[in-house]
């Protein structure tokens, strides 16, 4: 696990390395490992050729296969051409090719002045570019490409490299980190990748990570984990596209307030205790070498502004991507991740809140939950009294991902197998008298469950089930989102009837069946016509700030302008939340 | 030698560690060393309890005494109160004590915003101060002192520390590094120290150091040497005055162009080959943590601008300290170090050049030369046919320092023992018929010499002599300076008669007998009444730039405004130089 962490390849862990969650299974291709714990303990999680990364020791060369969900983001998430949003590219980075006359005894201008003479007046420069400038200029025969960042000369490269100009979007989710490589000349997204947030080894939830990060050593560890992870993916992404790290000049980072604190190595401890005060909210701009990312060391990394201790820069990203203040009527945007960030905009104002949905939508805390990778059930149909599964990669099902979970529960509700209160039907209930009810049973641990696939039914090696507990997890999650939406509307003096559009952000949204969301009451009272999936809007907003200095400045203004609504202390929240735990009444067609 | 270098305590070496210059002698107080070379080789330089640092190996704990010239600067150099020059202090650094109301559920302002609310609008901040801000604020009960650097919040300290606000002047000479600790509240110089430039192990002259610094590895080595040296003295100086490194917020660095390149780690190789192009000339400002000096990591280090490849920021320092453009008539200022930098100012313009004097004025390349420390002969009188010596520390003479060298030669010329052409008189000459001529002899190596002190005469353990070769060294040095002055005057269309004042900068100038300088023709044709010793003007100018942002900005303008005159390629230089090798005609009183 330590090796995987250092390499930025640790996919996930929910138990913090105690060997009980089974999320860090890796396949051993060559070599072997010394197991610390008894092999018996592993049986629950590991096949013959697998080990738990958290509980085995590297004793020599070995080759392993990782990648649970590793290709998730690249498969599922794509950003629209960012240029369509901003119209014209107006990046902070520009490159210009220049040719100079070499010095002679009558022209003893210093090297850097010779360069600056070809650039706009008052161009500043980073002192470190001086270091090897003399030999660089002479080797390049005084023909070089200069990279400027808002009036500062940050790089000098031999020859004409004007075409190689890249930036990176880094969207740090509590569960998943999504990264995008962007061509700064065209605004095109060249590559997109994701990794499980390496901090997950210290717990799936933000609070346990803040606890770890409350000591200087713990904070350093948490910062190193996320930075190492980002570093690894960023470098892999550049390399895969034959791009030199040196030609990546700018990065924009978004994440919830805690993740931003971790990324910057800022003490997050007060985010966990009343009065829940962040250390900072403003956007922060750093030289790349201070962050240690694989990019031009003189480039810049921008961490966008937070709105409050619980509403972070990822929400600013969503706001920038949706810009509700520019739209007619009332706009809601919901970004479903470990927390559900919700914004409500109406002309001159924007409200925002964060609903603690928990990781159920990401397949975590679900008995057979998994991330949306190969083998995950993402679609379920119960039509004609038959279970039909849609599995990612058209392979044998291994578990259930977030969108699959919603599909299953919605289908079970529609079929009458789950009540409005979220209970599996029993003999007493009407719905129990149908063939599919035969798939319901009481599991080994006394919890009722619905069998989606019996062993062998779809080539699966074990029964795939949805438990009553899973349904409860989903209820908790969806109630948090729904109550958040209702509170924001109430704060604004509106009801759900007034909503003109409801954007659903996040990778998740692209794969959510809107009809099913309506069945669950995820967006209470909002008809499916008004629900629009917009993909990873947080990253898209960050992307706008990457390719446009004006958009980045706007994001700073927006951060001061959005009013955060604190749900946990809101007097109406608890009532709303309890009310939303139930599923809506079904209007049978 | 390696240990001494790393500790910044290496006093000097002219042979680069070959064991033949004897400049790195240290006294062994406890422990012992394994000598690499045969002890016989040392006899020339070492007493019983001494070893050559360059040729012995540390084999265990040992205590040694260093300090040849170590206390030189602190003893000899003092800066006038800098405030007298600028009138009012207007530093870039300011400190302000603030008290805040702690946050509560109705006031969830982030920590940094809470601080910024008490500071001037639009105050920026260094991201790294966020790291431990939450715990710092709470431990300090929200009572802290903020340090601002030109609108940027660079430090937050618990309690009221407004009185602790310091800066540092770093004057990097080829031979000696002079450093001054300054109270930024009052402009007072609190401490002054010097060390032999640790780079001297790679040669006394700039050219051999540039050769070493022409490879990336060599450059890194040269940079590390000077930075380590500066670091050591800076920390010692703060510690000696009970000042925390954290409370030193700003430093101004001056030095010749090569030294500035080395300090910044910038490739100096082209300074040594035609067309002698520096990599940069502008002033460079860096965050302190980029330089690694023992000061507040978020403070700033300014390396002042250079004028040309051979006229560096030390000359800008002299220009700022003397400000010839503000004075009536024609001003000359000469800063005598390893190179003699000369400026000539007249109202609207300033010319500058650098004369390659060599290290003779610093006691190097002189048979029994030494730096101006204890035991150095600094004054000589030949009155009444008697040699009377003035020795630093009133102890037994050990050698001759730069000002002593000038005294001796001037006295010998006045006494008629050295001719105008610089030769010791022989039987054929008139001056040979005087009692003092008996002290002249031919040394072991066939070179004529004058015995200043026979063994035992002043408690000295060896004969102290001045050789014919030493006189030649002095001639070469003084001719370079004199020719430089004449060239500058000619360029400006003046003669020595037009000069209104001639400032003599450098520690050296304070101890030079002006009358003797006139005897040598150091400042040809300029009467002694017009020669004014002004101490370390380079450091003083740097000091002005430390305590005044306006002066620092002015120094940038001045750097662009001073016209450099290149002596080595000047058509008249050679003739002038040969002419100046002779000593002036003596007007016998």
Are B275 and A105 an interchain contact pair (Cβ–Cβ within 8 Å)?
yes
d(CA A219, nearest CA chain B) in Å: 9
- Stated pTM of the model: 0.85
Q: List the CATH code of the domain at B322-358+474-581.
A: 3.30.420.40
Are B279 and A133 an interchain contact pair (Cβ–Cβ within 8 Å)?
yes
User: Which residue of chain B comes nearest to A104, CA vs CA?
Assistant: B275
Distance CA B464, CA B389 (A): 11
Show the CA angle centred on residue A442, arms to residues A436 and A443, nearest 5°. Answer: 115
pLDDT digits (tens, 9 = 90+) for B96-154: 999 999 999 889 899 999 999 999 999 999 999 999 999 999 999 999 999 999 999 99
- The two tokens of residue A528 are 């499916």
Q: What is the mean pLDDT of residues B206-228?
A: 93
- pLDDT of residue A11 exceeding 80: no
User: Which residue of chain B comes nearest to A266, CA vs CA?
Assistant: B131
d(CA B339, nearest CA chain A) in Å: 20
Pairing state between β A531-535 and A499-505: parallel
- Give the residue from A115, A121, A127 with the most B CB atoms within 10 Å of its CB, the best one to mutate: A127
Are A279 and B108 an interchain contact pair (Cβ–Cβ within 8 Å)?
no
Show the CA angle centred on residue A300, arms to residues A114 and A555, nearest 5°. Answer: 125
d(CA A489, nearest CA chain B) in Å: 22
pLDDT digits (tens, 9 = 90+) for A317-328: 999 999 999 999
Cβ within 8 Å of A, B 241-280: 264-267, 269-270, 274-280
Cβ within 8 Å of A, B 187-216: 216
pLDDT digits (tens, 9 = 90+) for B355-407: 988 778 877 788 898 877 778 898 999 999 999 999 988 889 999 988 899 99
Q: B2-65 adopts what CATH topology?
A: Ubiquitin-like (UB roll) (3.10.20)
How many Cα atoms within 13 Å fall on the side-chain side of residue B95? 23
- pLDDT of residue A316 exceeding 90: yes
Are B277 and A108 an interchain contact pair (Cβ–Cβ within 8 Å)?
yes
Given a contact cutoff of 8 angstroms between Cβ atoms, the answer to whether B264 and B303 are in contact is yes
d(CA A269, nearest CA chain B) in Å: 8
Q: Tell me, what's the pLDDT at A56?
A: 83
Domain coordinates in residue numbering, chain A:
2-65, 93-158, 166-303, 315-589
Are B275 and A107 an interchain contact pair (Cβ–Cβ within 8 Å)?
yes
pLDDT digits (tens, 9 = 90+) for B36-72: 665 666 666 777 788 888 878 888 888 887 754 334 4
User: Which residue of chain A comes nearest to B116, CA vs CA?
Assistant: A280
- pLDDT of residue A73 exceeding 60: no
Q: Tell me, what's the pLDDT at B72?
A: 40
Average pLDDT value for chain B: 88
A282 CB near a chain B CB, below 8 Å?
yes
| Residues on chain A touching B264 (C-beta within 8 angstroms) | 127, 130-131
Q: What is the mean pLDDT of residues B549-577?
A: 93
A107 CB near a chain B CB, below 8 Å?
yes
Q: Tell me, what's the pLDDT at B67?
A: 57
User: Which residue of chain A comes nearest to B310, CA vs CA?
Assistant: A108
Closest of B224, B184, B155 to residue B10, by C-alpha: B224
**Is the preceding peptide bond at B275 cis, omega within 30 degrees of 0?**
yes
Q: Tell me, what's the pLDDT at B589?
A: 47
Q: Tell me, what's the pLDDT at B170?
A: 97
Q: Tell me, what's the pLDDT at A76?
A: 41
- Give the residue from A114, A123, A125, A130 with the most B CB atoms within 10 Å of its CB, the best one to mutate: A130
Q: A93-158 adopts what CATH topology?
A: Ubiquitin-like (UB roll) (3.10.20)
- pLDDT of residue A277 exceeding 50: yes
Are A104 and B275 an interchain contact pair (Cβ–Cβ within 8 Å)?
yes
Average pLDDT value for chain A: 88
d(CA A125, nearest CA chain B) in Å: 9
pLDDT digits (tens, 9 = 90+) for B500-548: 999 998 877 777 888 899 999 999 999 999 999 888 899 999 999 999 9
- Give the residue from A119, A270, A279, A352 with the most B CB atoms within 10 Å of its CB, the best one to mutate: A279
Show the CA angle centred on residue B173, arms to residues B171 and B178, nearest 5°. Answer: 40
Please, which residues have CB within 8 angstroms of residue B221's CB and are 6 or more apart in sequence?
Answer: B212, B213
Given a contact cutoff of 8 angstroms between Cβ atoms, the answer to whether B249 and B300 are in contact is yes
Distance CA B274, CA B540 (A): 32
Percent of chain A past pLDDT 70, that is, above it, reads: 91
d(CA A259, nearest CA chain B) in Å: 14
d(CA A122, nearest CA chain B) in Å: 12
pLDDT band at A17 (very low <50, low <70, confident <90, very high): low
Closest partner CB to A286 (pick from B111, B127, B308):
B127
Q: Tell me, what's the pLDDT at A88?
A: 72
Q: Which residues pair with A564 in a beta bridge?
A: A352
- The two tokens of residue B106 are 């109705």
- pLDDT of residue A61 exceeding 90: no
pLDDT band at A27 (very low <50, low <70, confident <90, very high): confident
- pLDDT of residue B76 exceeding 50: no
Q: List the CATH code of the domain at A166-303.
A: 3.30.420.480
How many Cα atoms within 13 Å fall on the side-chain side of residue A461? 6
pLDDT digits (tens, 9 = 90+) for A428-480: 888 888 999 999 999 878 999 999 999 999 999 999 999 999 999 999 999 99
Per-residue burial over A78-104, b if 16 or more Cβ lie within 10 Å, else e, is: ebeebbebbeeeebbbbbeebebeebe
| Residues on chain A touching B128 (C-beta within 8 angstroms) | 290
| Residues on chain B touching A128 (C-beta within 8 angstroms) | 290
Q: Tell me, what's the pLDDT at B74?
A: 37
How many CB atoms neighbour CB B241 within 10 A?
12
Per-residue burial over B374-394, b if 16 or more Cβ lie within 10 Å, else e, is: bbbbbbbebeeeebebebbee
What is the distance of C-alpha B420 from the center of its chain? 31
User: Which residue of chain A comes nearest to B564, CA vs CA?
Assistant: A108
Are B275 and A127 an interchain contact pair (Cβ–Cβ within 8 Å)?
no
Cβ within 8 Å of A, B 321-360: none
- pLDDT of residue A36 exceeding 80: no
| Residues on chain A touching B127 (C-beta within 8 angstroms) | 264, 284-286, 290
pLDDT band at A195 (very low <50, low <70, confident <90, very high): confident
Q: Tell me, what's the pLDDT at B34?
A: 74
DSSP state of A382: -
Q: Tell me, what's the pLDDT at B148?
A: 98
Residue with the larger pLDDT of the pair B205 and A114: A114
Same fold, A2-65 and A93-158: yes
pLDDT digits (tens, 9 = 90+) for B439-456: 999 987 899 999 999 999
Percent of chain B past pLDDT 90, that is, above it, reads: 63
What is the distance of C-alpha A88 from the center of its chain? 27
Given a contact cutoff of 8 angstroms between Cβ atoms, the answer to whether B21 and B208 are in contact is no
pLDDT digits (tens, 9 = 90+) for A333-361: 999 877 889 999 998 889 999 998 877 88
- pLDDT of residue B14 exceeding 60: no
Please, which residues have CB within 8 angstroms of residue B12's CB and are 6 or more apart in sequence?
Answer: B23, B24, B68, B69, B175, B196, B200, B371
- pLDDT of residue A373 exceeding 80: no
- Most confidently predicted of B66-80, B358-372, B422-436: B422-436
pLDDT band at B18 (very low <50, low <70, confident <90, very high): low
Closest partner CB to A130 (pick from B108, B112, B280):
B280
d(CA A179, nearest CA chain B) in Å: 23
Are B279 and A111 an interchain contact pair (Cβ–Cβ within 8 Å)?
yes
Q: Tell me, what's the pLDDT at A476?
A: 93
Count interface pairs A-B at CB distance under 8 A: 125
A308 CB near a chain B CB, below 8 Å?
yes
Cβ within 8 Å of A, B 540-579: 566, 569
Per-residue burial over A524-540, b if 16 or more Cβ lie within 10 Å, else e, is: bebeeebbbbbbbbbbb
d(CA A503, nearest CA chain B) in Å: 29
Residue with the larger pLDDT of the pair B163 and A176: B163
User: Which residue of chain A comes nearest to B265, CA vs CA?
Assistant: A131
- pLDDT of residue A507 exceeding 90: no
Are B131 and A269 an interchain contact pair (Cβ–Cβ within 8 Å)?
no
Closest partner CB to B130 (pick from A133, A274, A279):
A279
pLDDT band at A7 (very low <50, low <70, confident <90, very high): low
DSSP state of B449: E
B110 CB near a chain A CB, below 8 Å?
yes
Are B264 and A127 an interchain contact pair (Cβ–Cβ within 8 Å)?
yes
Long-range Cβ pairs for the range A386-395 (8 Å, 24+):
A387/A436, A387/A439, A387/A452, A387/A453, A389/A452, A389/A453, A389/A458, A391/A458, A395/A459
Closest of B10, B56, B9, B8 to residue B32, by C-alpha: B56
Are B113 and A274 an interchain contact pair (Cβ–Cβ within 8 Å)?
no
Are A279 and B127 an interchain contact pair (Cβ–Cβ within 8 Å)?
no
Closest partner CB to A264 (pick from B130, B270, B282):
B130
Q: Tell me, what's the pLDDT at A57?
A: 83
Are A275 and B105 an interchain contact pair (Cβ–Cβ within 8 Å)?
yes
User: Which residue of chain A comes nearest to B262, CA vs CA?
Assistant: A131
What is the distance of C-alpha A56 from the center of its chain? 29
pLDDT digits (tens, 9 = 90+) for A119-158: 999 999 999 999 999 999 999 999 999 999 999 999 999 9
Pairing state between β B176-183 and B166-172: antiparallel
B135 CB near a chain A CB, below 8 Å?
yes
A284 CB near a chain B CB, below 8 Å?
yes
| Residues on chain A touching B110 (C-beta within 8 angstroms) | 277-281, 306, 309
- pLDDT of residue A569 exceeding 50: yes
d(CA B60, nearest CA chain A) in Å: 35
| Residue entry with tokens 């070493």 | B212
């Amino acid at each position: 696990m330590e090796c995987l962490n250092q390499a930025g390849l640790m996919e996930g862990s929910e138990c913090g390395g105690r060997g009980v969650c089974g999320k860090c299974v890796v396949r051993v291709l060559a070599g072997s490992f010394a197991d610390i714990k008894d092999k018996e303990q592993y049986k629950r999680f590991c096949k013959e050729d697998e080990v738990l990364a958290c509980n085995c020791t590297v004793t020599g060369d070995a080759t392993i296969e990782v990648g649970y969900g590793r290709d998730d983001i690249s498969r599922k998430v794509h950003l629209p051409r960012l240029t369509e949003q901003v119209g014209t590219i107006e990046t902070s980075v520009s490159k210009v090719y220049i040719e100079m006359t070499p010095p002679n005894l009558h022209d003893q201008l210093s090297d850097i002045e010779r360069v600056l003479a070809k650039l706009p007046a008052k161009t500043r420069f980073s002192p470190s570019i001086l270091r090897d400038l003399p030999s660089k200029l002479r080797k390049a025969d005084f023909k070089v490409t200069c990279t400027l960042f808002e009036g500062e000369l940050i790089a000098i490269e031999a020859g004409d490299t004007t075409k190689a100009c890249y930036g990176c979007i880094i969207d740090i989710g509590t569960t998943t980190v999504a990264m995008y490589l962007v061509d700064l000349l065209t605004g095109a997204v060249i590559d997109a990748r994701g990794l499980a947030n390496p901090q997950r080894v210290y717990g799936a939830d933000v609070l346990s990570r803040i606890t770890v990060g409350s000591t200087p050593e713990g904070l350093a560890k948490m910062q190193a984990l996320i930075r190492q992870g980002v570093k690894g993916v960023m470098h892999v992404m550049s390399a895969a596209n034959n791009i030199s790290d040196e030609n990546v000049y700018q990065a924009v980072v978004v994440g919830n307030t805690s993740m931003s604190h971790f990324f910057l190595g800022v003490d997050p401890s007060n985010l966990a205790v009343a009065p829940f005060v962040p250390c900072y909210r403003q956007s922060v701009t750093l030289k790349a070498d201070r962050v240690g990312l694989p990019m031009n060391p003189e480039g810049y990394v921008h961490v966008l502004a937070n709105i409050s201790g619980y509403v972070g820069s990822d929400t600013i990203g969503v706001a920038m991507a949706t810009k509700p203040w520019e739209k007619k009527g009332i706009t809601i945007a919901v970004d479903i991740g470990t927390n559900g960030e919700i914004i409500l905009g109406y002309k001159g104002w924007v409200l925002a809140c964060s609903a603690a949905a928990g990781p159920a939508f990401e397949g975590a805390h679900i008995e057979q939950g998994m991330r949306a990778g190969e083998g995950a059930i993402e679609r379920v149909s119960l039509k004609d009294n038959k279970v039909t599964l849609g599995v990612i990669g058209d392979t044998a099902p291994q578990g259930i991902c977030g969108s699959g979970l919603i599909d299953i529960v919605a289908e079970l509700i529609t079929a009458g197998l789950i009540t409005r209160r979220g209970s599996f039907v029993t003999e007493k209930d009407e719905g129990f008298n149908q063939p599919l009810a035969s798939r319901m049973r009481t599991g080994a641990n006394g919890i009722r469950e619905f069998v989606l696939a019996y062993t062998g039914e779809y080539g699966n090696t074990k029964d795939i089930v949805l438990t009553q507990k899973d349904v409860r997890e989903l209820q908790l999650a969806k109630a948090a989102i729904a109550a958040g939406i209702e509170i924001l509307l109430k704060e604004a003096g509106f009801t759900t009837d007034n909503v003109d559009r409801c954007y659903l952000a996040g990778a998740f949204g692209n794969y959510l069946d809107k009809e099913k969301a309506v069945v669950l009451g995820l967006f209470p009272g909002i008809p499916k016509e008004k629900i629009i999936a917009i993909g990873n809007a947080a990253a898209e907003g960050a992307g706008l700030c990457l390719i446009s200095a004006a958009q980045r400045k706007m994001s700073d203004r927006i951060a001061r302008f959005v009013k955060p609504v604190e749900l946990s202390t809101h007097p109406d929240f608890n009532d709303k939340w309890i009310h939303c735990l139930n599923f809506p009444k079904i209007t049978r067609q």
